[in-house]
Amino acid sequence: MIEIFKEFAFDAAHQLGANVEPGHPYARLHGHSFTVRVQLRGAPDPATGWIMDFAELEAAIWPLRDALDHRYLNEIEGLERPTLETLALWIWRRLKPAVPTLHRVLVRRGSGGEGCICEGDPAESAPAESGPGA
């Protein structure tokens, strides 16, 4: 298997408010510079030698970056609770339909060495409920 990746950056504000204890610094409005790396995995196409054309990947990423850059994340549908985990999954869910070979989304915040890796949608791998009352 071979992997390729594309990175993009955006700046955004958010607050975790009710999601953290009173007085927690993340309860206040604040912002970060985010870096996102999307990784694709697969075998190169025999005709092109590519897993995916980077121009096509850029075209798939651009609307997401535009939706996030210089925005208040809490106001974006699906990011009302804008943790790194939620953000990585939000990107995954929007990019995967256009990029079937998507393998990993890594979101880093600032320069503090913090981030999140998403390698799939947990909702897609959850076992189906069965039995009485399901």
CATH code, domain with 12: 3.30.479.10
Q: Is residue 131 part of a domain?
A: no
Domain with 71 in it: 7-23+32-122
Mean pLDDT of 5-10: 98
| C-alpha–C-alpha distance, residues 93 and 98, integer Å | 10
Domain assignment present for 127: no
Domains in the chain: how many in total? 1
Quote the pTM value.
0.89
Cα distances (Å, whole numbers) of residue 85 to 17, 42, 94 = 16, 25, 15
Task: Tell me: pLDDT of 132 over 60.
Answer: no
CA angle 122, 123, 127 (to 5 degrees): 95
Query: Is residue 2, in this structure, part of any structural domain at all?
Result: no
Mean pLDDT of 98-124: 93
Question: Would residue 67 count as lying in a domain?
Answer: yes
Is residue 3 within 8 A of residue 28, CB to CB? The reply is no
Strands across the sheet containing 71-72:
71-72, 2-14, 30-42, 102-109, 114-118
Start-to-end CA distance of the chain, whole Å, equals 39
* 128 occurs within a structural domain: no
pLDDT score, position 133: 53
Residue 73 binned pLDDT confidence (cut-offs 50, 70, 90)? very high
Whether residue 11 is contained in a domain is answered as yes
20-24, 92-96, 114-118, range with the lowest pLDDT: 20-24
- CA–CA distances in Å: residue 59 to residues 56, 65, 123, 128: 5, 10, 26, 35
Residue 1: inside a domain: no
Nearest Cα neighbor of 42 from 58, 59, 57, 63 is 57
Using the Cα atoms of residue 84, residue 37, residue 63 and residue 52 in order, give the sign of their dihedral. Answer: negative
**What does the pLDDT look like over 19-57, one tens digit per residue?**
778 778 778 888 999 999 999 999 999 999 999 999 999
